[in-house]
Structure 1
Amino acid sequence: MIKNQKSNLENLVSEIQSHSENIETSLSSFTERFESTETDFTNKFDSTVSEIEEKYESYTQEFNSQLDDKIESTENILQEKIGKQKETFSAQLESQKTDAQRVLDVLEEKKEEASNLLQIIGNIGITGNYQNIANIEKAAADKWRNIALWLMISMVAVIGFTIFISATNGFDWKLALFRIGAALALAIPAAYAAKESAKHRLLENHNRRSELELASLDPYLEKLPEDTRNKVKEELTKKFFGLNSQEKKVEEPVSSVAILDLLKTAISKK
């Protein structure tokens, strides 16, 4: 019985040892497989990490390259658009300058036309005033001339009538002398009328000449240099607008030639 137990015990020990060896063998195999798996996993992990790093680096480089290209392309587009905008702005600015200069030229022309128009209006006003005065003086001269002429005609008629009566009824020297004296008395107002006519005629001629000078002033001054033009204007201003330009002349008596002309006219009309 003890032998059997001992034998069983030995078998059991032997079996335990066998299991223990199996366990050790399994553990050793597991350890080896685990280490191998760990090594493989580590290698795969390192390879994966390296691959990921390489891909990340490649992606980063590609992204940076594309970003640089995009930035450069965007900068080129912006520069091109800015250049076009500058060209458009410069063209618009130049067009506006041209339009503004054209407007200024038109305004300058209008200003010159207005200045010329004002000058023409001023000249017309001045020359028209001289013309009106000349017309008034002409009317007065003609009126006094007609008065003198009719007085001379009356004087010639009285003298002729006296001579005719004397030749018809006989010569009465007292009556003839009286009539001739009465006829010669008409010579005094006739001479005065002739003098007034000559005075107004002189003023008419003076105003006509002034009108003609003022009317031809602008075409004459237009061809002169600026300095000469200013000097001429100054002299003409003194002449036409000076206080002492029209000096009073001593009235001369009517000449015998003027009276003789009136007598000839009166006799011819009779």
Structure 2
Amino acid sequence: MVTFSAHRDHPLHATLRRLLEMRNSPMFAIDAVITNESYTFSRNKIFSTVQVIQNLISGTPEELVSIGGMSSINSGLQQALAELTTFLSDENPVHLDNAASVIDNNVLQGMWAFTPSAQPVMPEALPALLQAQHKFSMDSVRQVADASDSLSAHLVELDEEGQILRAKLNDITDNASRERAEASAAVAKLEQSFTQAESSRQQSFEESLRIGAGRVEELLEAIKGNTDALLLELEEKRNQAARIVQVVGNIGATGNYKRIADSESKQANLFRWITLGIFGTGVFIAVATFIKFWGEPLNSETILAIFIRLLYAIVITTPAWYSARESARHRSNADRARLTELELASIGPFIELLPEDRKIEIRAGLTSQYFGKSLDPHVVNNPIDAVALASALKGVTDDILKAVKPS
């Protein structure tokens, strides 16, 4: 509903106040604006339009103003206000053209919101417009004058600095001439000293060369003798190193077989305890069955219960055959690894005192024995003969059926 308060509290009033306050900023009179006709025109158009709208709001009765038109004008002025705010922050006058374009496209088209036409209020807006233009002009003149005074002062400073630099250049030229003469005298004196020193150095060098040649011959003879002794010692060290490497290799191989033997022994012990546990469970079930039915008369029910319990005992003890076989296999692997460890550990001391060719022959024979051997295939055998078990179960079943069958 349109009321007087809607007109008085409309946000267009605040927008106009911000724009009119912004008009007093000296940024709108900088050189980039006043020296460009397009930017100057855009600036004047913006603030002239704002002033006219302010006068129209003030001079038009509230009943003759369209609230919708005011909202349309406020929307356009908000866009222009955003462009001017950006101009004050980055000093890019292109924002003035953008704001003027917004005034043309969005603001002036909403001037129908004021009745009567804007023409009668133009004489009232003219003094304010002229005052704003006068202020812009004065600011521009002031900035030009300030720039002229600054430029004049800068030119005076440059002239004084030029005089100082000219005097320094003259001093540098005089100093350079004097230092050039001094340098020439110093170079001549240096050449004389160098000639004398070079002659003395040449004599000393020739004498040192003669003495050094004699010492080098003595040193070569001494090195030759020391080299022969060193070669003999190196040969001995090489033989010792070969023996050490052989021992180290034997230790590494025997240590590996020892680890294998220990691991296989642990596995054999594990499967042995598993076997004992399973057998113990089956025996316990059989003994419990025997104790439970001891002294009870045999009939169809007791015979069937005894048969089922014994069948459970047989089924439970069946995995014990597999665990027992695995325990035996791991035990055999452990014994084989320990035997290999013992043989490898004793082969070195055994052949140590033999001739070198005999040692090589023995090692070649051991190579074919310990390396390149194929693994024994792992065959899984059924611990229980299925045919025999089926036959036995059939016989027991027939006996049970005969026993429980009424005569």
Aligned to 1:80: none
Aligned to 2:267: 140
Distance 1:100 1:235 in 2: 39
Change in 2 beyond 3 A, CA 1:254/1:135: farther
Distance 1:102 1:168 in 2: 100
Deviations 1:213-249 (A, max 9, x none): 10011011123333332222111101111244x4447
Number of aligned positions between the proteins: 163
Query: Of 322, 326, 337, which residue of structure 2 is paired with 1:192?
Result: 322
Aligned to 1:78: none
Aligned to 1:241: 371
Aligned to 1:222: 352
**TM-score after normalising by structure 2:** 0.36
Aligned to 1:162: 289
Change in 2 beyond 3 A, CA 1:252/1:122: farther
| Correspondences of 1:50-69 after superposition (within 5 Å) | none
Aligned to 1:57: none
Deviations 1:47-102 (A, max 9, x none): xxxxxxxxxxxxxxxxxxxxxxxxxxxxxxxxxxxxxxxxxx9xxx7x97775555
Paired AA for residue 265 in structure 2: K
Aligned to 2:92: none
Offset, 1:184: 1.3
99-108 vs 135-144, which deviates more? 99-108
Deviations 1:8-35 (A, max 9, x none): xxxxxxxxxxxxxxxxxxxxxxxxxxxx
2:307 aligned with 1:177, yes or no?
A: yes
Aligned to 1:123: 250
Aligned to 1:29: none
Aligned to 1:11: none
Paired AA for residue 237 in structure 2: K
Runs of 4+ with deviation above 4 angstroms: 95-102, 168-171, 249-255
Paired AA for residue 354 in structure 2: L
**Contact map agreement 2:281 2:317 (CA 8 A) in 1:** no
Provide structure 2 residue ranges, at least 5 long, that are not aligned to the other structure: 1-217, 385-407
Deviations 1:131-180 (A, max 9, x none): 11111111111111111111111111111111111226666222222111
What secondary structure, in the 3-state scheme, does the structure 1 residue paired with 2:354 have? coil
2:205 aligned with 1:205, yes or no?
A: no
Identical pairs, percent: 33
Query: Is the helix fraction higher in 1 or 2?
Result: 1
Paired AA for residue 179 in structure 1: R
**Contact map agreement 1:195 1:253 (CA 8 A) in 2:** no
199-208 vs 96-105, which deviates more? 96-105
What secondary structure, in the 3-state scheme, does the structure 2 residue paired with 1:216 have? helix
Provide structure 1 residue ranges, at least 5 long, that are not aligned to the other structure: 1-88, 256-270
Paired AA for residue 174 in structure 1: L
Distance 2:356 2:376 in 1: 31
Instruction: Report 1 or 2 for greater relative contact order, CA contacts < 8 Å, sequence distance ≥ 6.
Output: 1
Paired AA for residue 117 in structure 1: I
Paired AA for residue 263 in structure 2: I
**TM-score after normalising by structure 1:** 0.52
What secondary structure, in the 3-state scheme, does the structure 1 residue paired with 2:294 have? helix
Offset, 1:251: 6.4
Aligned to 1:33: none
2:362 aligned with 1:232, yes or no?
A: yes
